[in-house]
Amino acid sequence: MSTLQETTDEVLRLAATHFRVPKEQLAPDDDFFKKLGINSLQALDLLTRLEQHFHIELPDYELAGVSNFRALAERIQSRL
Amino acid sequence: MTSFRGKAISWTLSSGVIELVLDRAPCNEIGTETLAELEEFVTALKNMQEGAHALIISSARKEGFCAGADLRELYRGMETVSAAERLPRVRKFLERIHAVMNAIDSSPLTTIAAVHGVTFGGGFELALTCDLIIADKMARFCFPELRLGLIPGFGGIPRLKRDLGNGVVRDLLLTGRSINAAKAQAIGLVSQIAAEGEALRVARATAAQLQKFDRATASAAKRFVKPIPYDELRQEIDLFCELFTRPAVESGLRKFVESTEALPYLP
């Protein structure tokens, strides 16, 4: 099973690739809405990609109040 | 009329396939304008279906298939009329959209929803009128209406109950969570998953296959396996109208319309 650090790195890599942002510009505590410049529909798109990548279901209500990559990775980690 | 281009939708009939395309910014929210054009469509459908074997419904908006009812229009409408006038207006709207949905649901053609991205609320309900749902792998399905103090009002619950197990219906309805295309296929909602941007192509390939079958046989088979739950659809309108009069609805709509939150779509 992946560690939280590994999951966080995967989330950062996936977000960087999909939203075409250099990975080195993203940090675990960044607000992904601001850093990626995404709206709610794009956040759902990211959620779908994360579910596919990690082979999990992540109900969107679990993302309420989650805005940084580390917290997002923690939610994913709890489903692995 | 075998082709039409309106402000919110367009349709064409070509080689026996009717293609209805939703195209209203931002994500095909269904308000009075879209409803009026959908009514024109179902009128035209009665004439077109003699020369057709399939209907494909899709979206030209990159954001998704359809984000549901136009809540901003609904809220503005509530603000401009007296409390006594609101309910009859809402009931009238529901009666009209149900007539459209029932016409598509009961069409003798084999109907396909080719969906991608956001397929929420009324958009999900529109997809549920179709015989087959072909989903882009990035599609998401959701009934977020409880967040507004309402239930789905375009026929979604009876159709979901018709097609899926009640446990799944309760999950989607009572949690308001969205599910991805893979989950939707696993529970029996989606018949095929397409790669990103390929749902319409896959739907067209499926429609071409349908042309091989005798139309009367296909229509009879459809009638046999897909009853229209008219009684429950009527009950849904009544329950929606009963709930609509509660103060929670206006405050829920106001919260949505005025929301500056990053995720206003989340329950």
* Residue whose entry in the numeric block shows the structure tokens 């349709």: B11
DSSP β-ladder status, B17-22 and B9-14: antiparallel
Band (B261; pLDDT cuts 50, 70, 90): low
- Does B157 score more than 90 pLDDT? yes
Name the minimum distance, in Å, from the CA of B249 to any CA of chain A: 20
Assembly ipTM: 0.86
Longest dimension (CA), chain A: 31
Give the architecture-level CATH label for domain B3-201+214-258.
Alpha-Beta Complex (3.90)
Q: Indicate the residue of A49, A52, A60 with minimum beta-carbon distance to B178.
A: A60
- Beta strands in B51-208, from DSSP E residues, in sequence order: 54-59, 64-66, 110-115, 118-120, 132-136, 140-142, 178-180, 192-194
**Chain A with chain B: Cβ pairs closer than 8 A:** 57
Average pLDDT over chain B reads 93
Q: Indicate the residue of A43, A49, A57 with minimum beta-carbon distance to B263.
A: A43
Domain ranges of chain B: 3-201+214-258
Chain A nearest-CA residue for B179: A59
Would you state the pLDDT for residue B89? 92
Average pLDDT over chain A reads 90
B27 touches chain A (CB under 8 A): yes
Q: What is the pLDDT of residues B125-145, one digit of tens each?
A: 999 999 999 999 999 999 999
B146 touches chain A (CB under 8 A): no
B147 touches chain A (CB under 8 A): no
- The sheet carrying B17-22 orders its strands as B3-5, B9-14, B17-22, B54-59, B110-115, B132-136, B192-194
Number of domains in chain A: 1
Burial of B10 (0-12, 13-18, 19+ CB in 10 A): middle
CATH number of the domain bearing residue A35 = 1.10.1200.10
Give the mean pLDDT of A5-25.
92
For A20, the domain range is 4-77
Chain B nearest-CA residue for A51: B180
More confident residue, B115 or B1: B115
Residues on chain A touching B116 (C-beta within 8 angstroms): none
Q: What is the pLDDT of residues B10-44, one digit of tens each?
A: 999 999 999 999 999 999 999 999 999 999 999 99
